[in-house]
A and B are shown apart, each in its own frame.
Chain A
Amino acid sequence: RKEVEQDPGPFNVPEGATVAFNCTYSNSASQSFFWYRQDCRKEPKLLMSVYSSGNEDGRFTAQLNRASQYISLLIRDSKLSDSATYLCAVTGMNTGFQKLVFGTGTRLLVSP
């Protein structure tokens, strides 16, 4: 089983739609969780950290479910500019906080 798993998509949604991605992780000792955004052929950039209490940044909401070992990303009112690949990343005690393990990414396509 992969340490971090994501549905590769693509998710095709119209502008204005709400879309949600999940990411599961295998190690229950994992401590820190993140969502990164990667545009085509570009470097990944941090979108948001995921806290136990959940967090929101504008149209984006991230949540953590430790019991089921997954994190989620919700995008409301999708924009064309949201089209990208979304990578979840996990670090934790099992890796001595030294390694950020990435999922393979979920591709989002927002159409007019």
Chain B
Amino acid sequence: EAQVTQNPRYLITVTGKKLTVTCSQNMNHEYMSWYRQDPGLGLRQIYYSMNVEVTDKGDVPEGYKVSRKEKRNFPLILESPSPNQTSLYFCASRLAGVGSGELFFGEGSRLTVL
């Protein structure tokens, strides 16, 4: 089954404790992206990757890191989480190229930072 898998789905942590949210897709998509979704603000892009070893900042990259060592994986790293990073996070992937707009989303990871 074609899918984007995120883990963990739910996490409560404390300020400053490094964490990683994993994302894996099995569709051989070149493009992967992380979004956060907050009430009233909608989906905002954190980072994206056009292919292996190619990453770039989205609209709200502060406090986050990513890596793309393999095509299928795109982990999101919070080196020192803060309460303002409490949010619902979505990883997404699609084929690269003009007009390849359909994003396939993971089920989301709900993060609470105390």
Chain A interfacial positions (CB closer than 8 Å to B): 8, 31-32, 34, 41-46, 49, 87, 89, 91, 97-105
Contacts and interface: CB of A to CB of B under 8 A. Distances in A.
User: Which 6 A-B pairs have CB atoms at the shortest separation, nearest pair first?
Assistant: A104-B42, A43-B105, A102-B43, A32-B101, A46-B102, A97-B98
B22 to A, nearest CB: 16
A7 to B, nearest CB: 13
24 contacts: A8-B40, A31-B99, A32-B99, A34-B101, A43-B90, A43-B107, A44-B43, A44-B90, A44-B103, A44-B105, A46-B102, A49-B101, A87-B43, A97-B97, A97-B99, A97-B100, A98-B48, A100-B101, A100-B103, A101-B45, A102-B35, A102-B43, A104-B40, A104-B41
Query: Which of B43, B58, B99, B100 counts the most A-chain CB atoms under 10 A from its CB?
Result: B43
B108 interface: yes
Contacts of A49: 101-102
B23 interface: no
B50 interface: yes
Contacts of A105: 42
A105 B2 CA distance: 26
B103 A46 contact: yes
B106 interface: yes
B66 to A, nearest CB: 14
A99 B58 contact: yes
